[in-house]
Amino acid sequence: MADIMQTYQALCDHAREAAMVESIRAVLGWDEQTYMPPQAGDYRAEQITWLAAASHRRRTDPRVGEWLAACEDSELVEDSHGDSATVIRELKRDYQKRSKLPQSLVEEMARATVLGQQAWVQARKDDDFASFSPVLTQIIDLKRQQAEAVGYEESPYDALLDDYEPGETTANVHRVLSSLREDLVPLVAAIAESSTQPEVEILSRSYPVALQKQLGEQVSAQIGFDFQRGRLDVTHHPFCSGMGPFDCRITTRYDEHFFPMAFFGILHESGHGIYDQGLRTDFYGLPPGEFISLGIHESQSRMWENQVGRGRAFWQYMFPTLQETFASALTDVTLDQFYFALNEVRPSLIRVEADEVTYNLHIIIRFELEQALIQGDLQVPDLPAAWREKYREFLGIEPPSDADGVLQDIHWGAGLIGYFPTYSLGNLYSAQFFAQATEDLGDLEDMFSRGEFMPLKHWLQEKIHQPGKCYRASELVERITGQPLSHEPLLAYLRAKLEPLYGIG
């Protein structure tokens, strides 16, 4: 057993060193999206390519295979959900998958996606898809090569989806999202036909950016984001990046005349950050100290943004502070008016600003377009037209420009193909988890109305954050809620909130 423990320790040390390389890459990626000067882009691509190659060499070192082979039939794997078994199982999975990828493809992908993100920033600024099209064409080709190298059973998209939602399949996601869409469409229609509508101009009054930043940081800290282990900055497209066990960066963007953009962006990214900060630091770089999947990660951000932040109880507590902070904008506004405005349901162009109901339609559009691109059924130059057609079909609207259409998300320029469906999975997970938290903790709404957010945070840490990757997402949902993932809790939550507001149901 002593020899096995030495082998296991060598495996863990090696994985932690690879994680350190990847954390350095994360720092450079964060800097690229926040403070990097424009002329530094090409060299930054070379830096990140070098780090990606170094990480790949370490992750696919033949010694990793030897260490895993020595450990996988030992006493270390007796408890299949234990820490040591999780380390061995997940590192083996990662080793086998990465070993199928040629070093040259890894380097080319790293370089192309850094340059792709930079090209996206300029293309969106200029509303110029044509300038972005060749870059995206190259990225799609590389992602097809990745899918073929890794392998798949039914769809090449499966191989890419697995990067973000391990074990999930395109067919199952399609089934879940199709069921969700079938129930969302009539709800959207009923709301649209209601004679009761919110006064949304409230949200477009003057909300000075400096005050938004001050309030955003205050609320982020109140719900549990630790600014001694993280910070908030400005970027083109909000994100959260974990750079080490005590370093988590969140970002947002501001609009003086649209309050929800930054406020809910901060709540959303704070939810991601609280998850990262809730992982076990003593296992940083190893699977028990890593998040399970992006769908589970998204459930944490969406819960704080929506179930908490768009709830009436939250604003019962927060609205007096908001009125004091933005006195000129809100002196004539009541709590009920503001709460209704925040929960408006209306088809809109921009995904990150979409309401809780139509948001999932934005995701389904991207999910379908991604599959078509990877399968070769849609060519990149034809993407803007396909995008406009989907928006007419799903939401009854059409973007007036590509900047507010096909260029609105950074994901494709960053090579994140297979990422989008995890957003809707996160919505489903969040509703199911929140329902269980309410059952376990009691009246969460009463707690929120008094500004008490720590009971929920601690419940999430215990149930979701601390286990790391000891369970698959599907296993974790059943372990916590006693039920497989379902769209019913999300629909029940949406109906309970929106039917009284709109006088329907």
Q: How confident is the model at residue 505 (pLDDT cuts 50, 70, 90)?
A: confident
- Please identify which residue in the block is written with the tokens 């849609």: 378
Q: Is the pLDDT of residue 258 over 80?
A: yes
Instruction: Judge if 94 and 186 occupy the same domain.
Output: no
User: What contacts 410, CB < 8 A, 6 or more positions away?
Assistant: 117, 120, 121, 236, 237
Instruction: Judge if 38 and 180 occupy the same domain.
Output: no
Running DSSP on this structure, what letter comes out for residue 17?
Answer: H
The mean-pLDDT minimum among 87-96, 236-245, 317-326, 334-343 falls in 236-245
Specify the CATH number for the domain of residue 243. 1.10.1370.30
Please give the C-alpha separations between residue 213 and each of 81, 99, 266, 381, 490, in angstroms, as whole numbers.
Answer: 42, 44, 9, 39, 31
CA distance 291 to 468: 5
Instruction: Judge if 95 and 202 occupy the same domain.
Output: no
Average pLDDT over residues 426-434: 98
Domain interval for residue 94 = 2-99
* Averaged pLDDT of the chain: 96
Average pLDDT over residues 54-79: 97
Domain edge (last residue) among 53, 80, 99:
99
Instruction: Judge if 206 and 303 occupy the same domain.
Output: yes
Q: How confident is the model at residue 494 (pLDDT cuts 50, 70, 90)?
A: very high
- Contact call for residues 420 and 411 (beta carbons, < 8 A): yes
Q: Give domain status of residue 446, yes or no.
A: yes
Residues 346-381 pLDDT 10s: 999 999 889 999 999 999 999 999 999 999 999 999
Active site residue 393: no
Q: Give domain status of residue 134, yes or no.
A: no
What φ, ψ does residue 205 adopt, rounded to 5°?
Answer: -75, -175
Long-range contacts from 230-239, C-beta under 8 angstroms, 24+ separation: 230/273, 230/277, 232/266, 232/269, 233/34, 233/35, 234/34, 235/33, 235/34, 236/33, 236/121, 236/124, 236/410, 237/33, 237/352, 237/409, 237/410, 238/265, 238/268, 238/269, 238/352, 239/33, 239/269
Domain edge (last residue) among 42, 64, 99:
99
Residue 249: the pLDDT is 98
Instruction: Judge if 52 and 182 occupy the same domain.
Output: no
Instruction: Judge if 190 and 84 occupy the same domain.
Output: no
Residue 496: the pLDDT is 97
Query: Alpha carbon 26 to chain centroid distance?
Result: 16
Residues 150-159 pLDDT 10s: 999 999 999 9
Burial of 372 (0-12, 13-18, 19+ CB in 10 A): middle
Residue 408: the pLDDT is 96
Instruction: Judge if 238 and 324 occupy the same domain.
Output: yes
Residue 237: the pLDDT is 85
Looking at the structure of the chain, the number of domains it has is 2
- Residue 158 CA neighbour count, 13 Å, CB half: 14
Q: How many residues does the chain have?
A: 505
Identified catalytic residue from 32, 90, 269, 344: 269
Instruction: Judge if 89 and 200 occupy the same domain.
Output: no
Domain edge (last residue) among 72, 99, 126:
99
Residue 353: the pLDDT is 86
Instruction: Judge if 174 and 281 occupy the same domain.
Output: yes
Instruction: Judge if 90 and 207 occupy the same domain.
Output: no
Instruction: Judge if 34 and 178 occupy the same domain.
Output: no
Kindly state the greatest CA–CA separation across the chain: 73
What φ, ψ does residue 435 adopt, rounded to 5°?
Answer: -60, -40
CA distance 128 to 136: 13
Instruction: Judge if 57 and 184 occupy the same domain.
Output: no
pTM of the model: 0.95
Burial of 43 (0-12, 13-18, 19+ CB in 10 A): exposed
